[in-house]
Amino acid sequence: MCLAIPGKMVKIDGDEKVAIVDFGGLKQEVRLDLVDIDESKIGHYALVHVGYAIQIMSPEEGEETLELFHEYADAVEKDIREERLAFRDKGLG
């Protein structure tokens, strides 16, 4: 399974087709070769897979996508906690 992560574009160099993308405080250089450079704007989000932007999203769409990631992560963490408690209660962990 492949996973693409959204990050906010904070700097864009159209000549080099790269952007600096902020992933919650971690800033990485991302290639823009696979997207329309004219859609790439500071403050918009790039959906990034292995260092390449594969989709450009509006700020609203990017923030909504990040919220869904956080909801999913919270649900997974809750499931893990519940499983650990169930194992402990059964004397298995």
Number of domains observed in the structure of the chain: 1
CATH code, domain with 80: 2.30.30.140
CA distances from 55 to 50, 75, 79, 81, 83 (A): 13, 26, 31, 34, 36
Model confidence pLDDT, tens digit, residues 7-49: 999 999 989 999 999 999 999 999 999 999 999 999 999 999 9
Global pTM reads: 0.82
What is the residue type of 29? E
Model confidence pLDDT, tens digit, residues 43-84: 999 999 999 999 999 999 999 999 999 999 999 999 999 888
Segments forming the whole domain that contains residue 53:
5-89
